[in-house]
Structure 1
């Protein structure tokens, strides 16, 4: 039973707030954002470290990815295998990373968006670069190790990466309330930038950009806003404009081909297919008639998308059209957000490099302290062995006179001869003067006899000299920051010489793509739509020649301009717009295209009530009538909108549009209910409303009754009659009554 003193009273909102903040920080720090020091997210760091621990080195055989993923998940990253495998795959894809960190064997996906094979089929191992530059000093106590999630293993808090990986490979990630998107850069240029900073810590962004020109995407391409890069790299935020590289090649028959050999980085994956579809769309919508064919001839050798064009095409104008209307020109949103000193921070390029250089000094300090300690230990042992060689006869005598190792060691360390039997007083005096350290004594006792050979003693002396040289070198590095900087710079220069690659992305100030759209020649056409919903447009002459067949076979026939729009009103109160140019234009016997595929109209969910060209309704008033007898007039100009779908009228719950048609004030309206009630009113008595209004009641319906039809009567029309059961009702003879009355029974 709970007592009052065991209950904790707290505000629910405070608990939720604290819990959400804890969750958000966990996502930000432990999953989504890279650390500014090694440029890696936790899942990437853990995967690389696990491969290092498993011994899957660049010069060793590949291992199954399932083995790597399983080991990483079991030891370090308990967040599901898919996130680990996805991270592993991305680190192996050289078209996504500036420098791939994993050497993948098998199907690791493609630049066109194909996914990697299942982890049980693929294999991987570390790249030489990763082993040399990212993991090489883990055995020298250069980084802190922390307990894993269940405290059964230790993992590095950060990897001892020697280059600014956050710039070289970039980063992307979505956290809670924040996201990072850092472009990749050229390996050699970044190293030059680091060296420049180390030589001049007061370097500014503009000076830094003399070394790091801008992003270097693995897909190449062209950065077109060079002048804006200074602001982007100063603030860590902005938009980089990138274009694909387009070359002109001569084809057969004098035709020219536009060949895309490099694509924007943002086009990686399914966006290549989208680009091809966009180009098809430009042709189908007749935005351009210059393109004859397009084919994707890309392979492992690289991107090659060939666009065949007509003779006499304005190539420059067509290129600009592709830049403007497709993903061939795109923007990369830069947000250089990383975890620095345990908290997320947006950093410019100089602060990023500053954090990296400070980390390098920290790594070097810890590395050379570890190496110095080892050399000092070695020096101590070497000095003891050298000293022992000078009194080797005495040491042998001590060993022969000892009953056990403990007594011999005590004698070597303190000169205690109590339990040692020596041959002479002189030996006793010398033995009592021995003062070897514990390490030296242990080394002497473990020394093998062959070490007494003259050449071995010379080698020992030589090793001692080398050790003294290393100690002096390490002490100089640790006590002199300038010396340490030289060591770091020398190492960076070695990495650059071994791993740097030529720049792939061009940086320039390109003029904005401007193209002239060809003006469409306006012409009269006839819109035809059959009872199955297949629509097309044909030439007026073709219609006149086939008028009888066209009138018989088609449900809707509209004369319009090819530049006009078709308005489709439905019983759900919606109006769908369809550009006439989007309709297939061709011969009378062409099948056409379902209108559902060309507009937002869905014939399976709504019924077509009225269809007309925009030009026919723009200057008129449209009458809307519903099944519950709600009426209103709406100006046709209200429907001259750009949206493909708009609400044509407001409907009460359960109501549906029954009638839409242009009317004049002199027209009459006849409403017919399901219970055979008729009411004839003047159109002029119906008020004009906005399209967002419900309207007014046109007929007072009996309980359970609803309108079945609405008829439009014009003065010039022939008499209109409808058959009710066995009777024929002539609508023109009905008495004109007031709106909102019951009507008459027929």
Structure 2
């Protein structure tokens, strides 16, 4: 009977399997994909691209080759991933607006600052390494770094590059891993070099001292860094934070010329944002936009103000607040350290760890060179022995079948020395060679002593490292591009600020119809009204100010004055845009900015002072501003203007009381205090707030009387007093008006 065997299998809980698989993937993405190494500042794909290009001989002095050739070598030999992802990583390293110090010199279309992904296909573009890339590659073949097998074990690749400069800070980088990310901004080479050398010479230097040498990032597109120095110092201390960048501009012939944009900001997108505001009529002070960017001026955006009266500083502050002309750059100094673990490090930790890496690299380079020098001295010693006994050496070679062991025994040579002697060409068997050997010996002996002295002294090793950093900074460094300046916080213009400011008169009818006439010299009562309707009140101000409407229940509403219908018609009913309570009627309007003061009063004789900002409401149902009480209504708000303002209040019994506005409480809402003493069934019928120098006109039927400042003295009294009765004929007052004198 045949027997069956079951395949052996491992059984484990799904939770355990999923957890292990996820963690393995997470660590792979963190260590082998997304985060740069503190030593060379490169991710694996970037490192493999640079190494593959060096293996292809694409140095800065060579002729460029198709980018597809490089990508093919990278994904075929070292990086078994998608060609498009590899090419995109290559493109970023070639873009001068993405990298502060590009590693690749691209020929052809490698994208633009407006659209970094607009690069041509790799079959069209060509590339080679830049001169700066030599800081990563020049020491690669000198025993400086560890090597590892490639993905299929057929080739070796460097684990890291022997960077001569802290490239992790110079070019920065971004990456998203599993559960973590990195955002390292670029910095200026000379500043980084100065800070590094200072830390090298003063290992106990604190962060504040380092920030004196390295004050802030330095972005390839320039612009201004407006983040305060204290915040940047805090950022470097924590390893994360925000750096704010702002575009720079100049004024040329009345036009605003933007010549630098924040890092990774598209000029086309900025113009689109500004054009959108213009289309929405939110930028009436701008008449035109142009993009004059070209090869000589990579950023030149033109904003044309409508007139020379436009406040360009206020306009630009608005654009900084509402467009990409100001941008916050996230900073997260998350790197893979020398211990192989990712961690957010502060500036001092990054520089300290890089110096440790650099010491290891230079030590290995010197040891590698010392080994080569000792090997050569060993061979030269054997060659010199051979030259001193040249005739006997030739005899042994001619007569012996196996000359190597004979020579080793006869002259005490090692196998390596004997092989070097046997490999000599006949033309080198001259007397002159002996002098060359001795000269080379002397040079190598001097070099050996120097190398051993450096390797034996930490101070000399640090001096060598510092000198090399300074030399590279002098060779590849340049001036700072992103200026550090202190600027006020950008503030968007309010809707009122963006609107044209024109004098208007707002007219309200008794049936609640409203309209606005241009100018202040308008005969509001003389306008035509609908049949059965009549003039109630009006307010003067400007078209970009706030209009507050008050109803009889004391609720206040806010409308945009510039949206009111024209006084050429008979207006529109307020109930079309507002929702007053049943039975409520509109009693008055006030026009001004949010700080404009006014008096709110009820027919019950209570009042208080307030501002239009306090009683404004964007709600169609309004807000409760004045508590009118039972069997009472609100009066029209009375604007407070001029010096030493006073309040004049008239009752249905013909009593007039004048008192300073300062005697009223300042409230944002409420009932207020008692303004005048009323008898039973008596109500307040009119109220005005006026400067002490103004003239008050009182209307009763067809009669009217005027009271100048001195003439009102007889009616002055303390708050809540009875006041004084008006002359006969003015017991039925309909309205009052104020005339400035």
Q: TM-score range by the shorter chain?
A: 0.5 to 0.7
Going from structure 1 to structure 2, the CA distance change for 1:582 and 1:464 (only over 3 Å counts) comes to farther
Match of 1:494 in 2: 471
- 1:419-434 aligned at under 5 Å gives the runs 434=411
Aligned partners of 2:448, 2:31: CA distance in 1, in Å? 39
Is 1:243 the counterpart of 2:208? The answer is: no
Match of 1:392 in 2: 390
Aligned partners of 1:585, 1:311: CA distance in 2, in Å? 30
Aligned partners of 1:178, 1:614: CA distance in 2, in Å? 54
Aligned partners of 1:61, 1:496: CA distance in 2, in Å? 26
Match of 1:287 in 2: 282
Say which of 454, 461, 480 aligns to 1:477. 454
User: Do the aligned partners of 2:239 and 2:346 also contact (CA within 8 Å) in 1?
Assistant: yes
User: Do the aligned partners of 2:226 and 2:486 also contact (CA within 8 Å) in 1?
Assistant: yes
Is 1:503 the counterpart of 2:500? The answer is: no
User: Do the aligned partners of 1:266 and 1:330 also contact (CA within 8 Å) in 2?
Assistant: no
Residue correspondences, number: 529
Is 1:414 the counterpart of 2:409? The answer is: yes
Match of 2:685 in 1: none
Say which of 231, 234, 258 aligns to 2:234. 231
For 1:227-283, what per-residue CA distance to the aligned partner results, in whole angstroms no more than 9, with x for missing partners? 211000111111111101111112xxxxx111111111141x4xx223112212333
User: Do the aligned partners of 1:618 and 1:639 also contact (CA within 8 Å) in 2?
Assistant: no
Say which of 208, 211, 221 aligns to 2:213. 211
User: Do the aligned partners of 2:239 and 2:347 also contact (CA within 8 Å) in 1?
Assistant: yes
Say which of 38, 41, 45 aligns to 1:36. 38
Q: State the 1:618 CA deviation.
A: 6.4
Compare 453-462 and 334-343 and name the one that shifted more: 453-462
* Unmatched runs of 5 consecutive residues or more in structure 2: 507-514, 519-542, 548-558, 569-573, 584-616, 622-741
Going from structure 1 to structure 2, the CA distance change for 1:15 and 1:584 (only over 3 Å counts) comes to farther
Q: State the 1:617 CA deviation.
A: 3.8
Q: State the 1:614 CA deviation.
A: 7.5
User: Do the aligned partners of 1:614 and 1:640 also contact (CA within 8 Å) in 2?
Assistant: no
Match of 1:151 in 2: 153
Instruction: Give TM-score, length-normalised by structure 1.
Output: 0.67
Match of 2:442 in 1: 465
Aligned partners of 2:80, 2:7: CA distance in 1, in Å? 38
Aligned partners of 1:638, 1:262: CA distance in 2, in Å? 39
User: Do the aligned partners of 1:133 and 1:162 also contact (CA within 8 Å) in 2?
Assistant: yes
Q: State the 1:581 CA deviation.
A: 11
User: Do the aligned partners of 2:139 and 2:365 also contact (CA within 8 Å) in 1?
Assistant: yes
Going from structure 1 to structure 2, the CA distance change for 1:563 and 1:26 (only over 3 Å counts) comes to farther
Is 1:119 the counterpart of 2:81? The answer is: no
SS of 1:139's equivalent in the other structure is coil
* Unmatched runs of 5 consecutive residues or more in structure 1: 251-255, 416-433, 526-537, 542-560, 566-578, 589-611, 622-636, 642-746
Say which of 326, 329, 349 aligns to 1:329. 326
Match of 2:179 in 1: 177
Compare 8-17 and 326-335 and name the one that shifted more: 8-17
Instruction: Give TM-score, length-normalised by structure 2.
Output: 0.67
Match of 1:264 in 2: 262
Aligned partners of 2:109, 2:475: CA distance in 1, in Å? 27
SS of 1:45's equivalent in the other structure is helix
Aligned partners of 1:524, 1:344: CA distance in 2, in Å? 68
- 1:66-145 aligned at under 5 Å gives the runs 66-113=68-115, 115-130=118-133, 132-145=134-147
Aligned partners of 2:257, 2:4: CA distance in 1, in Å? 77
Match of 1:381 in 2: 379
Q: State the 1:349 CA deviation.
A: 0.9
Aligned partners of 2:237, 2:545: CA distance in 1, in Å? 49
Aligned partners of 1:316, 1:110: CA distance in 2, in Å? 29
Going from structure 1 to structure 2, the CA distance change for 1:93 and 1:2 (only over 3 Å counts) comes to farther
What is the Cα-based RMSD across aligned positions, in Å? Answer: 3.1
Q: State the 1:139 CA deviation.
A: 1.1
Aligned partners of 1:38, 1:316: CA distance in 2, in Å? 43
Going from structure 1 to structure 2, the CA distance change for 1:497 and 1:392 (only over 3 Å counts) comes to same
Going from structure 1 to structure 2, the CA distance change for 1:279 and 1:484 (only over 3 Å counts) comes to same
Going from structure 1 to structure 2, the CA distance change for 1:581 and 1:436 (only over 3 Å counts) comes to farther
Aligned partners of 1:471, 1:384: CA distance in 2, in Å? 18
Q: State the 1:170 CA deviation.
A: 0.9
For 1:681-728, what per-residue CA distance to the aligned partner results, in whole angstroms no more than 9, with x for missing partners? xxxxxxxxxxxxxxxxxxxxxxxxxxxxxxxxxxxxxxxxxxxxxxxx
Aligned partners of 1:228, 1:616: CA distance in 2, in Å? 47
Going from structure 1 to structure 2, the CA distance change for 1:218 and 1:583 (only over 3 Å counts) comes to farther
Match of 1:304 in 2: 300
SS of 1:248's equivalent in the other structure is strand
SS of 1:370's equivalent in the other structure is helix
Compare 448-457 and 318-327 and name the one that shifted more: 448-457
Q: State the 1:344 CA deviation.
A: 1.2
Aligned partners of 2:362, 2:576: CA distance in 1, in Å? 75
Match of 2:351 in 1: 353
Q: State the 1:308 CA deviation.
A: 0.9
For 1:61-102, what per-residue CA distance to the aligned partner results, in whole angstroms no more than 9, with x for missing partners? 111111111111111111100111001100000111110000
